[in-house]
Structure formats: structure tokens, C-alpha cells
Amino acid sequence: MSLPELEPQRSLFGAGNLAADLFEKTNRYRLFREKALPALVAGRQKLATLYCLDNGRPGIEPVLLAGVSLLQYMEKLPDREAVEAVKYHLGWKYAFDLPLTYAGFDPTSLVVFRKRLLGKETDGETPGGANMARLLFDEVLEALNKGGVVRSRGKQRLDSTHVLGNVAKMSRLELVRESIRLALIAVEDWEAKAEGWAVWRERYCESKIDWRAGTAELRKKMEQAGGDAAAILHWLTEKQEAAKWPKAVETLKRVFEEQYELSEGKAVASKAAEPSGCVKNPHDPDAQWAAKDKEKKTAWVGYKAQVMETVADDGRVCEPGEPTAQFITEVTTTEAIASDLDGMKRAMKTRTESGEEAPKELFVDAAYVTDDTLAEAQKEGRELTGPARSAPDNEGVLSVEQFDVSVERREAVCPAGKKSTQCSYIHDEHQGREYYRFEWGSQCDECPLKGKCTKSGSGRRIVAVEKHHDLLQARRKEMKTEEFKKKQKRRNAIEGTISELSRGYGMRRTRYRGLAKTRLANYLVGAACNLRRWFRLIGWRAKVAMASG
């Protein structure tokens, strides 16, 4: 499909000419036409790389598809309703400057457009990918920069939220059986069938488990499914190279390896526990189980999103009724089991690859603050503002926080006021750690705090700290000041932003399956939220100007 020619001149009978008086200056469709549409037109040259120049019939204008993709997220519409709005809604026709008689297009065109943006990430044949997935988000952000409402390198805040996958919850037995069923369907048209094909098809494609059966019977079914999966994979290995297997077969192989283990090379036994990051539903192998806290009060199957937002440099608080003037600068979607530290690293890397500068100050919570992240921020000339976690409880004895440690001077002072006698640098290649170990030697023998300080057999305390412990210790002291507490309040608004994205734009549960598609959807959510915030801000400022004038 080739790229259509952009029409430089609009029709006299278009909605832009005939219906202009129906939309006031602060109307969202008028603002979309005046603010968002030019930004999308500016990005048309990048969109053109997803199409052939002169091969095949002309496709639908990519600027229109991009605009519909944004507006449907702003109004929380599925593809079919969005296309109906293009066809019948005068506001949508005006926003895109379409003729009143425009008949619309098929809803699947939006699906194909998203596949073009994703490219090889979803088995497409177009040169899309992660960078093109954020194209619309970047164009909106660029328009905000030109509009003077977003600074290229200002203060920002960051937090994460969970994203529920578009899959049903499955037991381990359901997971294995459904994986086998999908794999059998994927190779059903192969000419030569395995010896047990009829049995497998009857067992997994035409029958269901009676969940009223007892535990012993279900365990037997689990072992049976493992044996059948092993036999199917053995047959497929002899039939075709693994590199040419359908995706459903690859998923079955992964599920088998995660759920079963071979005993003496033959007998199949289910594993006692599932590994981290394992498949939870074969319809979306990327969706993972994760828990947000140790008590597992917040557990989900899906993904995680890192959301970054601007912060007012002057710390100004909005007046009653005033919309926020802060905008989302990054929405990085990761696997559910990815840590917040890894998520922050990916978010900063993605911004750098997109030509954005790192924020001069980043407000975060304790999940993002470690000695390494503080050192990295210091090295890059930026500030990471957030509380540091307390030192772990050392079995009821005095914690590391109660020792005055200076890695720079290679000395430490214990709570009894005694200086360390020895400092050792340890490079543990096995654990990938570099740390310093401080000892007090014989000074511990007659110390009155000995019983509270150590429970070791030698009766002598050893303190081990990371190589950037000085920064962590300084942050823990800074946390006790009123200035830091007041400053840290500027992070709290990111919680409201995440709530807005979840409740107002549906980011809490993804519409699609797969990490790549979810990443694209979250960027569209971020762009839609930015546009709506921008339009509200413009309307409020116009109202204030009218009242004061």
C-alpha cells in the first residue's frame, strides 16, 4: 500500500468552512484542529517511512489515522465507535477538516495503522518499532514545547503503576491444557499427523476438565498433560526446525519448560513452584504475575508502567478550579516483574534516545533511591530527590544507620564512639558486588554495647556497606530536616496523575495483548492526557483573561 498524496487545499464544502461558527474558541474539537492536527502534519514525514512511495493503491491518509487514534483515546472509544464518529459526528469532521460527506473507513484500518507503527514487534513487514510507537506522543510533546507550556529540561516526578493484562486468570492445569490446544490448532493443517494425534485432539480440543474432581484426579491430569506436551514437542522437533515453529508451539515449549522437569530423562513431573516471569496465559505470554508489596496485597498479571511528569519550578499551588499546568513527558512500559530501578533506567534511556534531556531534578519515592542511583545522578549533574529506605533490621542488633561511616576516609565510628581499626575493599565477582567492610577488632571485647551490637560467636561487630554509602547516609540525615519533607511533597501529585490515567483513559487494564501493543497503547494514553490537559489550560486562561478584561 502506497502513501496517499496530501491535499494542500481543503474543500469549500468541508466542515472547516461550513461549521466553523458552531465551535467556540475553547471547544475541544476546535483546539484539536488548531493545536494537535498541525503537530501530526509536522510528523507526516516520519509516518511516510511506514508506507511505500509508489507501490500499490493509495492508503488512508496517515495523519487522519493518527488523529483518530489520539481522539479515540481522549474520548475513550473503541475502534468501531471511533470510525462511526468520523463518519457521523460533526465535531470529529471539523477536528480533522473533513468534507461533510466523508464516508469514513473500515475500523480494521486503525488496527493496520497500529501494526505499521509497531512494525517487526508484531510480525509486521514495516520498519516500525519502539521509536515509532512513541511517535504520536513525541509530536504532541513537541507541540507543547513550542507552545511554551513544557520546558525541555525542568523538574519532573516519576512513579510506577501496574497494568492488568487482557487475559483471564488460569490455574496451572488450565495453562498447560490451553497451551497444548493452541499448539494443536496451529499445526492442524500439517499433512502428516503424529501417532497420537486423534487422542490429543479429543483430549484437549474437544473435552473439558471436570473441576469437581478431587485433588488426586487433577494432579493426575496435570501429569498426563505434561507427558502429552513432551510427546507433542518431540514429534514437532522431528517434523520441523524449532526456528520455523508457529508462535503457539513456541509458547507450549516455554510453558512445558517452566511447569515440568524431566526425571531421569524420561518421566515428567510438575515443578513444585513456578519460576519468576513465567507464562500465566498462553494467549499473552508477555503478561507476567507480580506483587507490589511483601504482603502481596496488590498482585496482578500484566505489565508495569513508569510515568514521568513535569513539576513547577517555583512550587506554585494551583488556585481553586485551575487545571494543572504539568504534563506527562514519558510513559515507559515494562514487564510486570521489572523493578522500579530498572524501570527508571529504561525511562531515562528512552528519553535520551528520543532527543530529550534528563530532568535537572527528579522527585521519586523510596523504591528509586539507592546508593547507586544517587551516585549516577550526581555523576550526570542532576538531582534525585526522594527518601532512602532504612537499613535492614540486623536480627535485633544495632543497624548500620547507627554507625557513622565514611567510605571516603575509610573509617567508621560505632555508637560507643570508637573508630574502626580496619577497612577492607571487597569485590565479589560471584554476586557482582563491590563493598567495604569495617572492623573494630579487640575494641569490641570490653564494649558495654556488645550485647546490643552483635550476636556473632567472636563477639566482634563487622559492618559492610556499599561503595557509595556516603551518599545514602547523607540522604538519610537529610530526610530528617523540615526542608526535605516540604520539598518531597512535590512528588505526591504524580499519584493523582496515575489515577487520572487509570480512571479517565483506561490505562489500568490494557486493551491489547503483548508488551509491544501495550506500550503503544500507553503512549497514546499519555498523548491523549496531555492534549486534554492543554485544552483545559487554554480554556481556563481564556476565561480568566475575559473576566479580568
Write out pLDDT tens, residues 212-270. Answer: 888 899 999 999 999 999 999 988 888 777 678 889 999 999 999 999 988 766 667 88
Q: Do residues 304 and 164 lie in contact, with contact meaning Cβ atoms separated by under 8 Å?
A: no
Confidence (pLDDT) at 125: 45
Kindly give, in sequence order, each residue whose CB lies less than 8 Å from that of residue 179, ignoring residues fewer than 6 positions away.
Answer: 229, 248, 251, 252, 255, 256, 279, 282
pLDDT at site 126: 46
If 0-12 CB within 10 Å is exposed, 13-18 middle and 19+ buried, where does residue 183 land? buried
Percentage, residues of the chain above pLDDT 90: 55
Burial of 487 (0-12, 13-18, 19+ CB in 10 A): middle
- Rounded CA-CA distance 287/283 in Å is 9
- Mean pLDDT for the chain overall: 88
Would you state the cell numbers that stand for residue 153, as one nine-digit string? 529540561
Q: What is the pTM of this model?
A: 0.90
Q: Return d(Cα 104, Cα 82) in angstroms, integer.
A: 10
By C-alpha distance, which of 540, 411, 147, 180 is closest to 139? Answer: 147
User: Could you identify the residue written with the cell 570508637?
Assistant: 418
Q: Where are the beta strands (DSSP E) in 288-351?
A: 288-291, 299-311, 328-335
Cell of 150: 513544557
For the chain, the structural domain boundaries read 1-133, 153-167+286-388+479-549, 172-270, 400-470
List, for the chain, all residue ranges whose pLDDT scores fall below the cut of 50.
Answer: 123-126
How many secondary structure helices (H) and strands (E) does the chain include? Answer: 21, 13
Q: What are phi and psi of 61, to 5 degrees?
A: -55, 120
Q: Convert the pLDDT of each residue in 448-484 to its tens digit.
A: 888 888 888 788 888 888 889 999 999 999 999 999 9
Query: Which residue is it, cell 499519555?
Result: 526
CATH topology of domain 153-167+286-388+479-549: Nucleotidyltransferase; domain 5 (3.30.420)
The 3-state DSSP class for residue 370 equals coil
406 strand-pairing partners: 411
**What is the reported pLDDT for 527?**
95
Rounded to whole angstroms, how far apart are CA atoms 179 and 302? 18
**pLDDT value of position 20:** 77
pLDDT, residue 250, reads 94
